[in-house]
Amino acid sequence: MTIAVQDLKADFPILSRSIHGQRLTYLDSAATSQKPAAVIAAELDYYQKTNANILRSVHTLAEESTLAYAKVRTLTADFIHAQADEVIFTRGTTESINLVARGYGDVHVRPGDNIVLTPLEHHSNLIPWQQLAKRQQADLRYIELRPDGNLSLESARQVIDSRTKMVAIAQVSNVLGTILPVRTVADLAHQAGAVLVVDGAQSVPHQATDVVAMGADFLAFSAHKMCGPTGVGVLWGKMAHLKTMSPVLFGGEMIAYVDRDHATWADIPARFEGGTPNIAGVVGFGAALEYLAEVGMDNVGAYMSHLGALAFQRLQNLSGVTVYGPGPDRGPLVSFNIDGVHPHDVAQAFDAKGVAIRAGHHCAQPLMHWLGVNATARASFYLYNDIDDIDVLVDAIESTKRYFAR
C-alpha cells in the first residue's frame, strides 16, 4: 500500500493519548474521524486572524473571510468532480438529506407516487423520506437485500417503476460495510424518470468520488467523517434539479429582494444557506480536503479496501464470533457479535483496553430487524489505522471471550 501510516498517525494529536493507561486504539471512525493538526490549526488560525461574517461587509476581514469560505466551495467541488455553485454547505449529512426531502421532495412528489429506499439505510436517510411520504401521501418501497447483505438488483428492477419519483440509497452501509451498486441503481432510477439521492456519509471519506461517473442527482456527506470539523456537511445537486427546489431555511442572506409581503431568492447556492453558516468549520473542512488530496484519494481508497478486507478475514476466522454483512469486498468496517456477550459489554471491555468501538443499533433499526439482532459491536477504520490496530482488535475480542467465559 502506498500510504505511510506511521507518518500519518503522527499528524493526529489525539492518537498519542492514552486511555485507562493504554495506548488509544481508535476504531470508531464511522461515527466520526479524528482530526489532523492541520485542520485544528486552520480553524484556530481563522479565528485568530480572519474572523468576520461573510457576504455582508466590505471591510478587509469580511472580504478575506468571504474569500476563504468561497475557496472551500471550489475545493469541495473539485473533490467530487462537480461545479462550485452546485455545492451547498449544511450542518451534515442529516441536514443535507432533510434539505432534499423538503426542498425537492415537497415540490415533486405527489399522492400515489413512490419513494424507494433500502433496508440498510441510516435513520438520516430514512426518516426524512418517511415524513415526506406522509406529507405527500406517497408510498415508501424497499429494494430488498440478498442474504449476504448485498443489494438485490432483481428487487430493484421490480420496485422502481413509473410512479417512482425519488430513490435514496447509501453508497456504503455504516453497519454491514456493503458497497451498493450506485451506478446501476442510478440507471434504473433514470429510466423510470426518478432522481437518485446518494447518502455518501460512509463512502466519500474513503474513496475517490466522481458525481458524474456515479450517476447521482444528489449526494450528501459530512465533513466530520473525513478529517474535518463537526457541524459541516455538503449537499451536492445537479444544477437543473437545484433550480427546481424550494429553499427550506428562510432568513438572512438567502434573499434577492424583500418587501413587506414578498421576497425573492438569492442565486444558487446562497438561497439554500440562510443565516450565518459555520464559517470556521468550513475553513477547517478546506484544510481536511487539502490533507486528503495530499495523501491522494486513490491511495486512501485502496488502503481502506485493504483494511476492510483484512479485518473481515481475521474476524471471520474467530470461533464464537458472528460477523455481519458481505465478504471481504466491503467498506472499512466490520460489525460483529461475540456469542453470549451483549455488544455494550463488549464495547465496555474494549474501552478498558484503550480500544474505542461503537456498540448499538448504529441508527439503523430496520437493518437490526433484518439481521434479527438488537445490536452489534462495530470496529471502523480510517487512514490512520493499520494492521497493528487489527491485531489489537483481535486480541481484545479473544480476551473478552475469555473474560465472559469464566
Q: How far is the CB of 250 from ligand 7TS (least distance, A)?
A: 22
Rank residues 114 and 222 by Cβ distance to ligand 7TS and give the closer one.
222
| Cross-strand pairs, 28 | 380
Cell of residue 101, nine digits: 426531502
Q: Nearer Cβ to ligand 7TS, position 87 or 266?
A: 87
Q: Closest CB to ligand 7TS among 27 and 266?
A: 27
Report CA dihedral (161, 147, 27, 221) to the nearest 10 degrees.
Answer: 0
Among 65, 150, 222, 337, indicate the residue that binds ligand 7TS (CB under 6 A). Answer: 222
Judged by CB under 6 A, the residue of 34, 66, 118, 125 near ligand 7TS is 125
Q: Which of 29, 76, 98, 124 binds ligand 7TS (CB under 6 A)?
A: 124
94 binds ligand 7TS (CB under 6 A): yes
Residue selected from 24, 31, 62, 318 as contacting ligand 7TS according to rule CB under 6 A: 31
Asked if 233 contacts 223 with a C-beta cutoff of 8 angstroms, the reply is yes
Q: Which stretch, 58-66, 199-207, 300-308, 323-331, contacts ligand 7TS (CB under 6 A)? A: 199-207
Using CB atoms within 10 Å of the CB of residue 24, give its burial: 0 to 12 exposed, 13 to 18 middle, 19+ buried: middle
Given 11, 43, 199, 389, the residue binding ligand 7TS (CB under 6 A): 199
Q: Which is nearer to ligand 7TS, 65 or 96 (CB)?
A: 96
The alpha carbons of the chain give a radius of gyration, in whole angstroms, of: 22
User: Should residue 122 be labelled a site residue for ligand 7TS when binding is judged by CB under 6 A?
Assistant: yes
92 binds ligand 7TS (CB under 6 A): yes
User: What is the distance between the alpha carbons of residues 78 and 95, in angstroms, rounded to a whole number?
Assistant: 22
- The residues annotated with a catalytic role in the active site are 363
Please tell me the count of residues contacting ligand 7TS according to CB under 6 A: 17
Q: Which residue has the cell 443565516?
A: 275
Terminus-to-terminus CA distance in the chain, angstroms?
41
Residue 22 pairs with which residues in a beta bridge? 19
What secondary structure letter does DSSP report for 122? -
Note whether 282 and 98 are within 8 A (CB): no
* Residue ranges in 326-345 that form contacts with ligand 7TS under rule CB under 6 A: none
- Judged by CB under 6 A, does residue 174 bind ligand 7TS? yes
Which range of residues in 57-65, 99-107, 121-129, 383-391 is near ligand 7TS by CB under 6 A? 121-129
Interface pattern 37-76 for ligand 7TS (x via CB under 6 A):
----------------------------------------
Q: CB of residue 251 vs ligand 7TS: minimum separation in angstroms?
A: 22
Secondary structure of the chain: what % helix, strand, coil (to 5)? 45, 15, 40
One-letter amino acid at 207 equals Q
Minimum CB distance to ligand 7TS, residue 406 (Å): 31
Closest CA to 175 of 321, 388, 380, 398: 380
Q: By the 8 A CB rule, do 140 and 126 touch?
A: no
H/E stretch holding 335? strand 333-338
Grid coordinates given for 37: 493538526
Distances (CA, A) of 151 to 119, 154, 221, 354: 9, 9, 21, 35
- DSSP 8-state symbol, 271: G
Binding segment for ligand 7TS among 198-206, 207-215, 242-250, 320-328 (CB under 6 A)?
198-206
* Residue 93 binds ligand 7TS, judged by CB under 6 A: yes
Residue 78, C-beta contacts closer than 8 angstroms, at least 6 positions apart: none
Provide the minimum distance between the beta carbon of 140 and ligand 7TS in the complex, in angstroms, as a whole number.
17
Q: Which stretch binds ligand 7TS (CB under 6 A): 86-94, 136-144, 269-277, 369-377?
A: 86-94
Q: How far apart are the C-alpha atoms of 320 and 323, rounded to whole Å?
A: 10
201, 211, 283, 346: residue in contact with ligand 7TS (rule CB under 6 A): 201
| Min separation Cβ 90 and ligand 7TS, Å | 9
Residue 269 binds ligand 7TS (CB under 6 A): no
Which residue, 50 or 202, is less far from ligand 7TS as judged by CB?
202
The span from the CA of 374 to the CA of 369, in Å, is 7
Task: Give residues in contact with ligand 7TS (CB under 6 A).
Answer: 30-31, 92-94, 122, 124-125, 170, 174, 199, 201-202, 222, 358, 362-363
